[in-house]
Amino acid sequence: MAKRFMYMNTKAPYGTVYALESLEVVLIGAAFEQDVSVAFIGDGVYQLAKGQDTKGIGMKNFSPTYAALGDYDVNKIYVEKESLEERGLTLDDLQHLVWEDEDEDWAEKDSIRLVSRSELADVIDDQDVVLSF
Amino acid sequence: MDEDEARRQGKDANNIAEGFRISGLGQLIEAGVESDRLVTFGA
Amino acid sequence: MTTLHTVNKSPFSSASFDDCLGLAKSGSTVLLFEDGVYAATSGTESAEAIANADGVTFAVLGPDAMARGVEGKIADGIKVVDYDGFVDLVAEHDKVHAWL
């Protein structure tokens, strides 16, 4: 029976390796056919900021990879509202992530679910395994 | 039966070959799928 | 489902402790270990936050507190456990959420 796996992101991209590693784990985990959710809280919300251009720092810009999550059946992406607000951000500052629902004629749907801290606590409570980076 | 699986998450970015890293991460997820409890340690 | 949260960073240098407290539900336990033990020391804002966290139980890993010379400074109401106690906590909760 598929377990509910949540991957939680708490750190900003590029300053440490956590964001990239976490994304790699999610993609590799997609092959295991479990029920996957991904959450972004704290500085983790910065990972989804649009317009990342890393040419000047000599690191690979891996932000386009988030757009591919939908193709890997990862379509429950939780972003914590309080973390965005604390950082002066809104959903508009983030990439627009979508997935295609094969049960509805491949209709394109939003993957990002904006939730409050307490709503997210309930979602996490329901998970079988949590991997936090 | 309770099976604790502790997993050390390597935080070094100097992983040598892609092949090794993928198998390490795959094992982490497998541990999550198969054990009753998963405990992870990292930096 | 009950959760054992583990925090291994000092509240003074990392947001992990705060992030954890924000999401820990009543009925869960937070184990402070490695540098996380500092959050349990009295006279700190974190100890105050711990005292105000209704329904959440706190524990600190004794050997890590002792290594850091703060075993005598653990705030009231926080239980000190050893490695066996750590394993017991894992077994007593449905899942472990390790904060890095």
Provide, as residue numbers in chain A, all residues whose Cβ is less than 8 Å from the Cβ of C95.
127-130
Q: What domain count does chain C have?
A: 1
For residue B16, pLDDT beyond 80 = no
Structural domain boundaries enclosing B32: 4-41
Q: Are A113 and A78 in contact (CB under 8 A)?
A: yes
User: In chain C, which residues have pLDDT < 70?
Assistant: none
For residue B22, pLDDT beyond 90 = no
Provide, as residue numbers in chain B, all residues whose Cβ is less than 8 Å from the Cβ of A4.
none
With CB atoms and an 8 Å threshold, state whether B33 touches A17: no
Query: Residue B23: in which H helix or E strand, if any?
Result: helix B18-34
Give the residue carrying structure tokens 């059946």. A73
Q: Among A5, A17, A24, whose Cβ lies nearest the Cβ of B32?
A: A5
Size of interface A-B (CB pairs under 8 A): 33
Distance from CA of C94 to the nearest CA of A (A): 8
Please compute the mean of the pLDDT values over residues A72-78 and round it to a whole number: 96
CATH at residue C27: 3.40.1260.10
User: Pairing mode, if any, of strands C79-81 and C57-61?
Assistant: parallel
Coil, strand or helix: which one is C81? strand
Provide, as residue numbers in chain B, all residues whose Cβ is less than 8 Å from the Cβ of A58.
none
For residue B21, pLDDT beyond 70 = no
- Tokens representing C93? 């909760």
pLDDT tens digits, one per residue of A86-102: 999 999 999 999 999 99
Name the residue among C44, C17, C45, C57 with its Cα closest to residue C33. C17
Q: What domain count does chain B have?
A: 1
- What 3 state SS string does A48-101 have? HECCCCCHHHCCCCCHHHHHHHHHHCCCCEEEEHHHHHHCCCCHHHECCCEEEE
- pLDDT computed for residue A96 by the predictor: 97
- Tokens representing C33? 């270990």
Whether the CB of B42 is below 8 Å from some CB of chain C: the reply is yes
Least confident segment among A9-13, A65-69, B8-12? B8-12
With CB atoms and an 8 Å threshold, state whether B41 touches C95: no
Q: Are A95 and A66 in contact (CB under 8 A)?
A: yes
Q: Are A34 and A66 in contact (CB under 8 A)?
A: no
Structural domain boundaries enclosing C42: 3-99
Task: Sketch out chain A's domains with CATH numbers.
Answer: 4-132 (3.40.1260.10)
- pLDDT computed for residue B13 by the predictor: 47
Give the model's confidence band at B12: pLDDT under 50 very low, under 70 low, under 90 confident, else very high.
very low
DSSP category for residue A126: T
Size of interface B-C (CB pairs under 8 A): 22
